[in-house]
């Protein structure tokens, strides 16, 4: 199974010769089904641990199980609700006291890359801390 599609020119994005034979339609169906498999949302939950920074109010409960397929934006919204924040109240969120993730990244992706001892640590602050 050799991949020969190594040409840098986009114009030559043609199939390697190995693909010319056989039932390509059937294979296409397989690929589309495979894509659907990867699109399925991960129902697993992961532990998110909220930690206040600076003057931010401390939460009574700071461990939550959150569905991994949620986007980080959902975590921000959940946190705002728990804190009783109104729209426009400033809130800055960070992972591991280090960076703000993109709001459309998933909790699952962040957990896989940045979890510490089985927790995804989300720091929150009312002022920009590591912006």
Partner 1 sequence: MSYTPRHAPSAFTTPASTTLFRRLTWEGTVPIEVRVDPKELPANSDRGLECYYLQAPRVSYLPLLVPEIKRFLTDVVFDDAAARAMKEEDWWFESDDGALLKWHWPVGLIYDYHTITSSIRPSAPPQQTAPLRLTLHLASPPTDKLLLSPSADACKQAFMGQMKEADFLRWGNTKRMTGLRKAEQDGLWEGIKEHNFDEYWRVAAKVTPTTSPNRSYSPPPPSATSMHTRPPSADPGSSGQPDKDGAYNVRSVPVRMYLPDGPVLQDLVPPMLEDGTMHTLAHFLHTHLPLIFPPPNTASGRELAYPLVQGVLVPGEAEMAWLGACMAGADGWVNVCVGIQRDAPRF
**65 within 8 A of 45, measured Cβ to Cβ:** yes
**Could you say whether residue 104 binds partner 1 (CB under 8 A)?**
yes
**107 within 8 A of 95, measured Cβ to Cβ:** no
86 secondary structure, DSSP code: P
CB 129, min distance to partner 1, A = 11
Binding segment toward partner 1, per CB under 8 A, in 51-59, 60-68, 83-91, 94-102: 94-102
**Could you say whether residue 87 binds partner 1 (CB under 8 A)?**
no
Footprint on residues 9-68 left by partner 1 (CB under 8 A): 10-11, 13-15, 18-20, 22, 24, 27-28, 30-32, 34-35, 37-39
Closest CA to 123 of 101, 92, 84: 92
- Out of 44, 65, 112, 127, the only residue in the binding site for partner 1 (CB under 8 A) is 112
Contacts of residue 99, defined as CB under 8 A and 6 or more positions apart, other chains included, come to 130
Backbone angles phi, psi at 101, to 5 degrees: -75, 165
Residue 130: half-sphere exposure toward Cβ, Cα within 13 Å: 13
**What are the residues binding partner 1 (CB under 8 A)?**
1-3, 5-8, 10-11, 13-15, 18-20, 22, 24, 27-28, 30-32, 34-35, 37-39, 73, 95-96, 98-106, 109-110, 112-118, 130-131
């Amino acid at each position: 199974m050799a991949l020969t599609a190594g040409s840098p020119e986009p114009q030559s994005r043609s199939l390697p010769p190995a693909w010319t034979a056989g039932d390509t339609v059937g294979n296409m169906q397989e690929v589309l089904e495979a894509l659907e498999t990867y699109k399925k949302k991960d129902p697993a939950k992961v532990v998110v641990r909220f930690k206040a920074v600076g003057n931010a109010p401390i939460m009574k409960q700071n461990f939550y199980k959150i569905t991994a397929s949620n986007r980080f934006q959902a975590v921000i919204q959940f946190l705002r609700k728990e804190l009783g924040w109104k729209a426009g109240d400033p809130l800055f969120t960070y992972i591991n006291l280090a960076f703000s993730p993109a709001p459309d990244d998933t909790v699952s992706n962040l957990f896989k890359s940045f979890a510490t001892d089985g927790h995804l640590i989300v720091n929150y602050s009312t002022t920009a801390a590591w912006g």
